[in-house]
């Protein structure tokens, strides 16, 4: 059942964006499970997860303020294979997920530098504008999710064992039954 679900997710929810640098990335609205490689001896899922993570980091890095838009469109390659970049439209807006620790730290700095206010971090109206216009509000997911994701990524790997815990989308740890 898991293998069917993953194959379906890869086929229908992922795309390789058409980008100038032909980066080996995928963009999606889902996530991947690191443990699937061990459980099913299928390296495809781990490789797919790596490309999704790199796609997230690429999107942060290539946005004008270094902040990944919450909503965006990109031209897709016809398949998940490399393709030539053909300039068309690429619109973005919003803010919010990571790759290596270096990428995560750069992402955190970009978000913090562009959202910091006197007492909290503001929501941004359009991350594609520089400097971005700040709203007099803070998104509920900022503390509930985003800061936890950054903390987990920037912490020592020994903080939480991924062999013993799995995280839900809000970064709450759940112990894996033995």
Q: What's the N-to-C CA distance of the chain in angstroms?
A: 21
Q: What is the pLDDT of residues 114-161, one digit of tens each?
A: 999 999 999 988 888 888 899 999 888 888 888 888 888 888 888 888
DSSP-assigned letter for residue 157: G
C-alpha 111: how far from chain center: 14
The CATH number covering residue 166 comes to 1.50.10.10
Give the mean model confidence (pLDDT) for residues 14-20: 82
Q: Does 73 score more than 90 pLDDT?
A: no
Q: Which range of residues forms the domain containing residue 110?
A: 2-175
What is the value of pTM for the model shown?
0.56
Q: Does 92 score more than 70 pLDDT?
A: no
CB contact at 8 A, 76 and 18: yes
What's the domain count of the chain? 1
Run of H or E including 153: helix 147-154
């Amino acid at each position: 059942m898991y293998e069917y679900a993953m194959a379906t997710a890869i086929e229908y929810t992922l795309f390789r964006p058409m980008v100038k640098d032909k980066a080996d990335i995928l963009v999606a609205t889902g996530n991947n499970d690191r443990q699937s490689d061990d459980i099913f001896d299928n390296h495809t899922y781990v490789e797919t997860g790596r490309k999704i993570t790199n796609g997230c980091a690429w999107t942060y890095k290539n946005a004008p303020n270094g902040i990944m838009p919450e909503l965006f469109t990109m031209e897709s390659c016809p398949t998940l294979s490399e393709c030539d970049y053909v300039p068309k439209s690429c619109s973005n807006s919003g803010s919010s997920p990571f790759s290596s620790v270096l990428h995560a730290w750069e992402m955190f700095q970009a978000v913090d530098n562009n959202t910091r206010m006197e007492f909290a971090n503001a929501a941004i109206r359009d991350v594609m504008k520089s400097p971005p216009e700040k709203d007099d509000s803070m998104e509920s997911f900022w503390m509930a999710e985003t800061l936890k994701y950054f903390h987990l990524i920037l912490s020592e790997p020994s903080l939480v064992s991924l062999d013993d815990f799995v995280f839900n989308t809000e970064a709450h740890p759940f112990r894996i039954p033995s």
